[in-house]
Amino acid sequence: MALLDRALVRLLPAVPKPVVRRVSSRYIAGEELGDAVRVVRQLNGEGKLATIDVLGEEIASPDEARAIAGTYREVFEALERERLDSNVSVKVTALGLKLGYDLCRENLEAVVAHAAERGNFVRIDMEDASTTDDTLRLYRELRAEGHENVGIVLQARLKRTLADVAALAELRPNVRLCKGIYLEPAEIAFRDFDAVRTSFAQVLHALWDAGCFVGVATHDEWLLEEAKRGVEARGLRREDYELQMLLGVRPALGVELVREGHRLRIYTPFGRHWYAYSLRRLQENPKIAGYIAADTLRVFGR
């Protein structure tokens, strides 16, 4: 990343919210469920699947956490009504993990039960390392209760992940594999770009060796090639795996992947709590300085 971009990443929290909002609008469907429905309809029309995330990491009370769970119910209803091909992704913090494990578990169970009623599926996103154990525990408890319509996310950045694959293997989990966005201390995480890539490839093959369904979530062409080679070598059929990307990131590459015949799922967030998600997306955009500068010029040029 260029020097100016790196400096801006550090300064991003000081950038005025309206600027953050405008330059991050490509990553978010909008504030309302209707915005997500419109975007998913368009994605489906382009041959892509979706996973809808109700933004809510910044919630501060049990009522807000319950409201997020309630919004997921409305999402399932809308998906069925509109006949859209999308599942959902949930963040345990949005369902109240920081306010209490039991509160979160209750909300998560409600979301998974509503999904099951409508034949849908819930992916539990993975957040920073302070939440990994609780997130895996919640997943195990749901599976122990017989819920099959739920999947987990593993992060290649974390050194523990290969061991987590071994520990989870008997459950044959449905896994989204990603690099991991949260910057973690060097004792527990790979910091080097190539080390994260190597770990990603190792974990991917370990998951396939264990017979897991994997959603390969990356925009990194080197890793996508690795995944495609694995699919071919293992003789996986189209329905045995999927590729996943974020809304607004490398859309042209996504079109190419669909054209090649892969199933591609697009992570589609919506909601009023857009700020934390937007900051993370901007912080990993290699051209962040250009976007912020262009937007600021646009504002001052008015």
Interaction site with ligand FAD (CB under 6 A): 125-126, 153, 155, 176, 178-182, 217-220, 244-246, 249-250, 267, 281, 284-286
Tell me if residue 240 is catalytic: no
Least Å from the CB of residue 125 to ligand FAD:
3
The span from the CA of 194 to the CA of 159, in Å, is 14
Tell me if residue 63 is catalytic: no
Least Å from the CB of residue 139 to ligand FAD:
13
Parallel/antiparallel/unpaired status of strands 150-155 and 175-178: parallel
Strands (E), the chain: 49-54, 86-90, 122-124, 150-155, 175-178, 214-217, 241-246, 264-270
Helices 3-11 and 288-300 sit at what angle, rounded to 10 degrees?
70
Q: Which DSSP state fits 54?
A: E
Measured from the CB atom, the residue of 117 and 222 that comes closer to ligand FAD is 222
Q: Which DSSP state fits 51?
A: E
Measured from the CB atom, the residue of 2 and 61 that comes closer to ligand FAD is 2
The CA-based angle 153-158-161, given to 5 degrees, is 60
Q: CB count, 10 Å around CB of 277? A: 22
Measured from the CB atom, the residue of 120 and 244 that comes closer to ligand FAD is 244
Least Å from the CB of residue 168 to ligand FAD:
16
The span from the CA of 66 to the CA of 51, in Å, is 20
Least Å from the CB of residue 175 to ligand FAD:
11
Q: Which one from 176, 197, 265, 281 is the annotated catalytic residue?
A: 176
Q: CB count, 10 Å around CB of 291? A: 18
Least Å from the CB of residue 22 to ligand FAD:
15
Least Å from the CB of residue 177 to ligand FAD:
9
Measured from the CB atom, the residue of 61 and 222 that comes closer to ligand FAD is 222
Q: Which one from 125, 164, 265, 281 is the annotated catalytic residue?
A: 125
Task: Report whether 219 contacts 246 (CB < 8 A).
Answer: yes
The span from the CA of 175 to the CA of 233, in Å, is 20
Measured from the CB atom, the residue of 30 and 62 that comes closer to ligand FAD is 30
Supply 276's token pair.
Answer: 């934390």
Measured from the CB atom, the residue of 37 and 247 that comes closer to ligand FAD is 247
By the 10 Å C-beta count (0-12 exposed, 13-18 middle, 19+ buried), 31 is classed as: middle
- CA proximity to 219, closest of 166, 257, 269: 257
Q: Which DSSP state fits 103?
A: H
Instruction: Give me the active site residues, please.
Output: 125, 176
